[in-house]
Amino acid sequence: MMQGGQTRYWLAITACLLAADTRAAPPSGEQLYDIACLSCHSLGDAVDHRVGPPLGGLLNRKAAAVKDYRYSEALSASGWNWTLPTLLAWLLEPNTAIPNNAMNYVNPLTAEETQRLGEWLLQQP
Ligand code: HEC
């Protein structure tokens, strides 16, 4: 049987290892996408059952360009084109970027994580 003192000792070591691991490997763009976007957006170009439009091939794509997806009037009329700066503006402040859009979304990521995610997303076919 472990003594209470020993248990605390092992818990402390485990906590240190976990903390060290987090510092060594921050979540990748793909992992951030899975955390923050995947529930509403698939990749590729096919409209599926999800709430948002598919996000494959996003780089230099016009906003609201996926056929068969019903966008808000605001996004359709925006005249935006998706590049890293527009994507970051959209993700960091969606309602300032394009008021009255339909992406009901509160970004849980830091600015730095959002940038890493955006760079990854714009490379996906
Ligand atoms: C709660 C669901 C939801 C989440 C989570 C979400 N989105 Fe969206 N997203 C939407 C909806 C709905 C739209 C359509 C908005 C409109 O028509 O105004 C949209 C639109 C977009 C568009 C515009 C696409 C186009 O074809 O013009 C981009 C880019 C986008 N989202 C990126 C993201 C990224 C990246 C994440 C994760 C960081 C994310 N979204 C998280 C629901 C979501």
Q: How far is ligand 1, taken at its centre, from the CA of residue 23, in Å?
A: 29
As for how many domains the chain has, the answer is: 1
pLDDT, residue 25, reads: 86
User: Residue 13's pLDDT band (boundaries 50, 70, 90)?
Assistant: very low
Which amino acid is located at 70 in the chain?
A: R
Cβ within 8 Å of residue 113, ≥6 positions away: 26, 27, 32
Residue 29, in any domain of the structure: yes
Q: What is the CATH number of the domain that holds 28?
A: 1.10.760.10
- Quote the domain boundaries for residue 40: 24-122
| Residues 67-101 pLDDT 10s | 999 999 999 999 999 999 999 999 999 999 999 99
Neighbours of 79 (CB within 10 A): 8
CA atoms within 13 A on the CB side of 77: 8
Which residue among 100, 105, 109 is best mutated to probe the pocket of ligand 1, counting the most ligand atoms within 8 A of its Cβ?
105
> Are 76 and 64 spatial neighbours (Cβ–Cβ below 8 Å)?
yes
Residue 13, in any domain of the structure: no
Say what the pTM is: 0.85
Residue 5, in any domain of the structure: no
Q: What distance in Å separates the CA atoms of residue 92 and residue 106, rounded to the nearest whole number?
A: 9
Residue 18, in any domain of the structure: no
